[in-house]
Amino acid sequence: MKSTRQLSFLYLILPFILFLFGWVRLTIAIPLAIIILFTLYKLLIANYQLPSTVNHQPSTAYWLLITALWLFLSGIGGYAFQNWDHNWRNVVLRDLMNFDWPVYYAQPESGPVKMLVYYVGFWLPSALIAKFTNWQVANFALFIWSLLGVLLVTHQLGNFFKTSNLKATILFLFFSGLDVLGTLFFAKDYPTLLPPITHLETWAGNLQYSSFTTQLFWVFNQAIPAWLCITLIVILSREAAKGLSNVAPETLTALRRMGRSAQSDTRSEIILLWSLCFFFAPLASVGLLPYIIIELVKQTDFKSPFKNLHWEKLLSAVIIFLLSFFFFTANTAAQSRGFQSLPVDKFLAFFLLEGGVLWLVLAPSKYKDPHWIVTGILLALIPFIQLGSDRDFVMRASIAPLFYLMLMTGETIFDKSAPRRLLIPVYCLLILGSLTPIYEINRSIYRTYDYHFLQDSCAACDFSSDPITKLAQPGKPEEEHPGSLTADALPTLQFMTDELSQNFIANVRQAFFYKNIAKR
């Protein structure tokens, strides 16, 4: 049976292979795919996993049940209420199903060449299945694909914390900043604490550090693969730090027979994982980059810095990064960048409530850890950075520092030797923070129950015969698309002309990717 780590690499690399053959000219795609597949082969046969010392069996059923229920309530697949952002998630999957790859909306001999340019990687396995089936099967495939990704993340978190998968999942699911206090003291008209289904994340206006539940319920296509990449990176880094002391004797024997060292390619794998994160979620990869630099510095012997690096993994990382970079930069919608000024009081309130207090509480035990230092710096700097026209950078670049903050918190509460004077404030902060994901879950439960049991008649969204050119800005999430469970306002992006749609549609005629790489 393949290890969890091997399955994780397969999970992350398969969509890029589909992207290669769907978007790139065959003369380029075939040789690049050979390199990527060779790398995957090496990972599948040579990668190893430290044996777990924790017995997960008693709580496995509860772990699977809670994870599946969490996915169900997220709206993925359309089985429960979908928040407003699913309008865009659904239409991307629909266009990937209905259009040839790459997705061109207009390709005249002269004039604008309109192409779907977005982070499409996560949908590709489901979209490929959809081409041979239908919309319902596509959504079921997307649900199963998402469930597999979250199970891979939470299972490996359980091993990382040396606790049960169930406990790791509960921490992950309910981890959040103190949005309830931000709402109570700083929100003006919205959100409010009552009813307990509002979107607490928006208390600071255009600033938001999304909880992991919010990420899953709104931007799963970026969140799940980013979580998995970060989880693999921290596990690889821990193994590199610990050396081979915990590796089973039979594993060492097998590695020696292959003439391999168990630590020989950790840096190569970390770089590969970062490039994969860039392919799925480029903004999240920006926040992850400082942690990558830390690991590379820690693991590099500067007297012989290139020793034990594996060319196929590094070359694959370069291929994945460059192709993704050329593809994403074909869309100029998010090219505006700079810094935004913030009033000191607003910044301090946001920083402290969205992770800063917890970060400070962990200082006595973590202040020597460079990850703790970088996490604080990132949480303080990210609000000042502006990329594109909206707040996406703040919400997505913060995924990595929030994940590392969660990891440090988990290491503290699952450490049986941790002092009570540290555990009490940590647990208090976790309980207060858990209200944010509880509100997200409550909204999904309420709207799903309302759809099935309270409304007299609830039909699925019927698309108008007239082309839809714009989508109204979101209002209160709990009041979105009344009478409908799914956020299906958009039948296609083909005719869209509003500002938000430009995050997905680009005129690529002059883009390097279109002129030199893309299939025509």
Rounded to whole angstroms, what are the CA distances from 206 to 203, 244, 368, 375, 392? 9, 47, 33, 21, 9
Encode the chain (520 residues) as per-residue pLDDT tens digits.
348 999 999 999 999 999 999 999 999 999 999 999 999 999 988 655 444 444 445 689 999 999 999 999 999 999 999 999 999 999 999 999 999 999 999 999 888 999 999 999 999 999 999 999 999 999 999 999 999 999 999 999 999 999 999 999 999 999 999 999 999 999 999 999 999 999 999 999 989 999 999 999 999 999 999 999 999 999 999 888 876 444 445 554 554 454 444 445 689 999 999 999 999 999 999 999 999 999 999 988 777 777 778 889 999 999 999 999 999 999 987 666 778 889 999 999 999 999 999 999 999 999 999 999 999 999 999 999 987 656 789 999 999 999 999 999 999 999 988 899 999 999 999 999 999 999 999 999 999 999 998 875 444 445 555 678 888 888 899 999 998 999 999 999 999 988 888 899 999 999 999 999 999 8
DSSP 246: T
Is the Cβ–Cβ distance between 501 and 331 less than 8 Å?
no
Rounded to whole angstroms, what are the CA distances from 108 to 105, 114, 469, 517? 10, 9, 20, 18
Tens-place pLDDT, residues 417-428: 889 999 999 999
Query: 10 Å Cβ neighbour count for 133?
Result: 12
Is the Cβ–Cβ distance between 219 and 440 less than 8 Å?
no
d(CA 229, CA 235): 10
d(CA 63, CA 57): 10
Read off φ and ψ for residue 384, nearest 5 degrees.
-85, -10
Tokens of 117: 């340019």
Three-state SS letters, 159-176 = HHHCCCHHHHHHHHHHCC
What is the C-alpha end-to-end distance of the chain, expressed in Å?
41
Task: Read off the amino acid at residue 109.
Answer: E
Dihedral in degrees, nearest 10, Cα atoms 36, 38, 40, 42: -150
Chain centroid, CA 517 distance in Å? 27
Nearest to 240 by CA among 266, 221, 216, 222: 266
Please tell me the predicted confidence (pLDDT) of residue 247: 47
Tokens of 466: 């007239």
DSSP 198: S
Mention every residue, 6+ apart, whose C-beta is less than 8 A from residue 465. none
d(CA 496, CA 475): 20
With tokens 């081979």, the residue in question is 244
Strands of the 114-116 sheet, one edge to the other: 104-106, 114-116, 505-507
Rounded to whole angstroms, what are the CA distances from 257 to 1, 27, 47, 269? 21, 38, 14, 21
Q: Which residues of 290-305 are buried (b: 16+ CB within 10 A; e: fewer)?
A: bbbebbbeebeeeeee
Task: Give the helix ranges, DSSP H, for 301-369.
Answer: 311-328, 344-351, 357-361, 363-366
d(CA 76, CA 144): 9
Please tell me the predicted confidence (pLDDT) of residue 336: 66
Put residue 77 in one of left, alpha, beta given phi > 0 → left and psi -120 to 50 → alpha. Answer: left
d(CA 9, CA 1): 15
